[in-house]
Amino acid sequence: MGGDVGPDVVVAGAELARERYPELRFRIYGQETAIRAALAHAPRMAAEAEVIHVEGVVLGTDKPSQAIRRAKTTSMGLAIDAVKRGEADAAVSAGNTGAMMAMAKLALRTMHGIDRPALVALMPTLKADSVVLDLGANTDCDAENLVQFAVMGAAFARTVLGLERPTVALLNIGEEEMKGTESIRDAALLLREAAVDLSLEFVGNVEGNGIAQGNVDVIVTDGFSGNIALKTAEGTAKLVTGLMANAYRASWLTKLGYLLSRSALRALRDHLDPNNHNGAVFLGLNGVVVKSHGAANVKGFANAICVAHDLVQQDIQARITADLANFAAHRSPLADMVG
């Protein structure tokens, strides 16, 4: 029931995701009348999807505390609870991010060895996509939190991007080791002092202007800085495409230039389209929960479902657990003195 459009995009997105993964099955939680109306345009989904009528809906204006109190009477709350009870392998929603995080954390709890879950997503770069976390779940993080984010982000990169040993960097105000807050410097020490045979390669710091270069597979930061970086990148993409559109409309000569470069511009637009990178994940919970952008279209919501599928198929929780154990086993005594 969440997102700018609601059930229409959810149902159509689910149907599109099944074209890629025919084994997918769906339980759709929400107001049945609206869901059935959407299913009328998706006959294949209507024949197989299970609809669970729930009258209560989490609004975009609801505070997390309000959503938690109504978790057992809302579509979002019951969808997450289905993961907790083992009735579903993953929950996907385009609804209220804060409410979804709060309910997921309360219902599923954090994994052993993880202090706080993190919101992770893919960002387009000049090269391949990069993994960025945290994107807003935790505004204030210590060194241990950042290290845990690094381990989880690397596991996510191996799962979703298929990287064998992803490179990891901390977002900082400079590349030098002495730059940044105490938490960032301590996290760098912990990661640098770890044994070299971890399933990630720590490469130090990366500045904000280096995110889009694509030289690092996983970028780790606190949720405050991460959310600003994400929104800045989204705004910059809109700025660039808007300026180009204005420039091409300036005269008949520029319009001719547009016709000649239309295929290249279409490729640029597709690369920057957030729907092609949709599907933020709450990593570190005992279950898979994926947040779709509220403005996602059908393709975007389908991509969020496919991310959930990949995480379940590759057992992301088991990967994170193994990586944390490996990190602890190779953590040096010097690093344990940090803090």
Domain residue spans of the chain: 7-108, 118-275+320-336
Please tell me the distance from the alpha carbon of residue 230 to that of residue 291, in angstroms, as a whole number.
Answer: 15
Q: What is the pLDDT of residue 197?
A: 59
**Lookup: tokens for 278:** 């949709």
- pLDDT per position as a tens digit, 112-161: 989 999 999 888 888 888 999 988 888 889 999 999 999 999 999 998 88
pTM, to two decimals: 0.85
How far apart CA 199 and CA 329 sit, in angstroms, is 13
pLDDT of residue 336: 57
CATH of 118-275+320-336, one of 1.10.268.10, 3.20.20.70, 3.40.718.10, 2.60.40.2700: 3.40.718.10
Share of the chain above pLDDT 90, in %: 47
In the three-class reduction of DSSP (H, G, I as helix; E, B as strand; rest coil), residue 251 is classed as: coil
Residue with tokens 């889009």: 212
pLDDT band of residue 6 (cuts 50, 70, 90) is confident
Residue 218, phi then psi, degrees to nearest 5: -130, 125
What residues pair up with 118 in beta bridges, in sequence order?
A: 283
For 330, the 3-state DSSP assignment is coil
162: confidence class by pLDDT, cuts 50, 70, 90: confident
Q: Average pLDDT for residues 52-81, to the nearest whole number? A: 91
Where does the pLDDT of residue 290 fall: very low under 50, low under 70, confident under 90, or very high at 90 and above?
very high
Average pLDDT taken over every residue of the chain:
87
Model confidence at 268: pLDDT above 80: no
Distances (CA, A) of 118 to 182, 281, 296: 20, 8, 21
Mean pLDDT within 192-204: 77
∠ at Cα 141 (153, 294), nearest 5°? 60
Query: Residue 334: how many CA atoms within 13 Å on its side-chain side?
Result: 9
Residue 289 falls in which region: left (phi positive, over 0), alpha (psi -120 to 50) or beta: beta
